[in-house]
Amino acid sequence: MPMPEPESYAFKLYTQKCSLCHRVYHPRMLNKRTWGIIVEKMEKKVQKTERRAPLTKQEKEVILGYLRKYSRERGL
């Protein structure tokens, strides 16, 4: 399944920031609530283990907005 809006700023930011540690996952893999939990968890992990700045509030909002917009409705 192709990624939604591959030319959008949100997709590019998601790819740029999240692919530094792992592959990017299709937003439909998880639901809105779970994406919020995962992004929080990854933020804490980056702050503890990586030598780079965490996401800014704006970056986090953009990435979560993208993931939630295309997330699955129910399930994981």
Give, in order, the Cα–Cα distances in Å from 76 to each of 13, 20, 55, 57, 70: 23, 24, 24, 25, 14
Q: What is the pLDDT of residues 7-38, one digit of tens each?
A: 999 999 999 999 988 999 999 999 999 999 99
Reference 46, options 32, 30, 63; nearest CA is 63
* Average pLDDT score over the chain: 92
Considering the four listed CATH numbers 2.50.20, 3.30.160, 1.10.760, 1.10.260, the one that applies to the domain covering 9-69 is 1.10.760
pTM comes to 0.89
pLDDT of residue 46: 85
